[in-house]
């Protein structure tokens, strides 16, 4: 227990525990599978606790945990997909349930989730980290280990796609008629 003797380190361990809810929410936004999201959050927590002495700056805790969550997600996908490289994984088309024929009757949350589900994996990750967790582009770039320019282009494409998919929700038809 020598390495955990200081109060700061003990508090850090408790903070890692305290991030479980955020990890779960983001994992759910990526996977749309509550059980899998719970597993990923759990795994990120366990890996974080195991590597706690590698975190030098406590203020970077959230980003650090999200980067671990990202690794968990990639590991999970690789287990299922015969070692695709990360670039290929990011462009994977969605396998999640998309909007169905009754989309008009669904509530807003369901519609938005369906639209997110339709995004390629890399775009889904970027848009949820930026919009849900309000992380900066630099933080997202660090978490996903990609250049900031890639964060921006994925975000751009994601929001462009969402705009198209969500037009009735975000009242786009009037806008488009102006063009």
Partner 1 sequence: MSHEKEFSDERLNAFVDNELGAQEREEILAAAAVDAELGQRLCALRASKELVSHAYGRVPAVRHKPGRRVSLWSGALAASIALVAGVLIGWQGHRASAGGAEPLAWAGSLFAPQPARVLIHLDSSQVDRMEEALDMTEAYLAKAGRAKVELVVNNSGLDLLREETTPHAARIAELARRHELLAFVACGHAIARYRNAGLDVTLVPEARVERTAVEHIVDRVRQGWTYLKI
Q: Which residues bind partner 1 (CB under 8 A)?
A: 1, 4, 10, 13-14, 17, 20, 24-25, 28-29, 34-40, 42-43, 45-47, 49-52, 72, 75-76, 78-79, 83, 108-109, 112-113, 116, 127-128, 130-132, 136-137, 152-153, 155-156, 159-160, 162-163, 166, 169-172, 175, 178-179
Shortest distance (Å) from residue 93 CB to partner 1: 19
Using alpha carbons, list the distances in angstroms from residue 103 to 30, 90, 97, 166: 21, 27, 12, 11
Shortest distance (Å) from residue 65 CB to partner 1: 14
Shortest distance (Å) from residue 109 CB to partner 1: 5
Shortest distance (Å) from residue 57 CB to partner 1: 19
Quick check: 117 and 156 in contact, CB under 8 A?
Answer: no
Which stretch of DSSP H or E encloses residue 131?
A: helix 121-131
Half-sphere exposure of 31 (CA within 13 A, CB side): 22
Half-sphere exposure of 101 (CA within 13 A, CB side): 0
């Amino acid at each position: 227990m020598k390495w955990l003797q200081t109060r700061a380190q003990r508090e850090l361990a408790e903070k890692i525990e305290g991030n479980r809810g955020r990890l779960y929410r983001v994992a759910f936004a990526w996977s749309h599978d509550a059980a899998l999201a719970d597993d990923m959050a759990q795994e990120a927590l366990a890996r974080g606790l195991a590597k706690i002495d590698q975190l030098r700056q406590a203020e970077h805790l959230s980003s650090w945990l999200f980067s671990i969550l990202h690794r968990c997600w990639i590991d999970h996908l690789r287990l299922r997909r015969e070692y695709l490289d990360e670039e290929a994984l990011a462009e994977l088309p969605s396998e999640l349930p998309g909007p169905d024929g009754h989309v008009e009757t669904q509530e807003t949350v369901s519609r938005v989730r369906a639209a997110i589900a339709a995004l390629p994996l890399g775009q889904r990750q970027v848009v949820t980290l930026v919009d849900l967790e309000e992380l900066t582009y630099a933080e997202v770039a660090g978490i996903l280990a990609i250049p900031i320019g890639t964060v921006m282009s994925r975000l751009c494409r994601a929001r462009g796609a969402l705009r198209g998919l969500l037009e009735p929700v975000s009242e786009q038809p009037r806008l488009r008629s102006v063009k």
